[in-house]
Structure 1
Amino acid sequence: MRQTSRILQIDTSGRGFYEFTEAVRDFARDAGMTQGLLTVFCQHTSASLLIQENADPTVLRDLEAVFARLAPEGADYAHDTEGADDMPAHIRAALTQTQLSIPLIGGALALGTWQGVFLFEHRRRRRRREVALHLIGE
């Protein structure tokens, strides 16, 4: 068994989805392994990760609208020291994922045809987010 890791930095311009599928594919390809398991881990509590459709942008718009209803700004949250968007960001992160596992089969990530890997930014301001990649395999 071999393993390799890297930290990706993803700059966001505010709330929304940021696809980084190609960076993940490049990392897996450059590792030179044919089979294994890739872990993708978001190192933040107000952003998260999703594997979602990357062909039709209306999917992402609809997801954002649903999350805006599920965790609205302006509700009576106790935690508000970092602004009105902070507690809704934590709720959104709790409802999604901070870690993804993607199999590596035949030297390629086993993503479906329309699947992309996204950072889901939950805060309004621009941020620099860090995502850890770890691949174990052979």
Structure 2
Amino acid sequence: MSQGFETRTLDITTGVAETVYDLTAECVSFLAEVADGRDGLLNVFTPHATMGVALIETGSGSDDDLLAALHHLLPADERWQHRHGSRGHGRDHVLPAFVAPHATLPVIGGELALGTWQSVCLVDTNKDNRERQVRLSLLS
């Protein structure tokens, strides 16, 4: 049975280069403040048409591998119908079909229940917009 709903919007600066931004610490901090030891679900959502949320190992090259794979699947060239912004920006609008703009994660005993090497990451290939928002919502 649901005991509560808590939500917070974070302002994140992802920078001027394509990036995989590790958001795990912000998720853990949010849960430490609001979960009060309860089980539930954490929803991570980014309200942007050119950004995604992924669970991935970071720091071992996997984040760079993800960006390389996205370059292979979605090249930053002139093939895209959507043509405003920097060269190849249309691919940024296709990204959320491959890396969804949300993830729902288990919370057990007030703590994020990730696997050993999993991190919660924002995937941002849009170099034209570096100021981003993320909504963290706990349903417990």
TM-score, structure 2 normalization: 0.90
The one of 8, 12, 15 equivalent to 2:14 is 12
Partner of 1:3: 5
> In 1, Cα distance between the equivalents of 2:131 and 2:124?
10
For residues 1-138 of structure 1, what are the structure 2 equivalents within 5 Å? Answer: 1-13=3-15, 14-31=17-34, 32-56=36-60, 58-125=61-128, 127-137=130-140
| Distance apart, 1:55 and its partner CA | 4.2
> In 1, Cα distance between the equivalents of 2:124 and 2:105?
21
Q: Which runs of 5+ in 2 are unaligned?
A: none
Q: CA offsets per residue over residues 4-48 of structure 1, 9 Å max, x none? A: 100011101121111010110110111124211111101101111
1:2·1:136 contact (CA, 8 Å) conserved in 2? yes
List structure 1 segments (4+ residues) > 6 angstroms apart after TM superposition. none
Q: CA offsets per residue over residues 107-133 of structure 1, 9 Å max, x none? A: 211111111111111112451110111
> In 2, Cα distance between the equivalents of 1:11 and 1:78?
27
CA RMSD of aligned residues (A): 1.3
Q: CA offsets per residue over residues 54-87 of structure 1, 9 Å max, x none? A: 241x111111111101111223222102232321
Change (3 A) 1:71 1:12: same
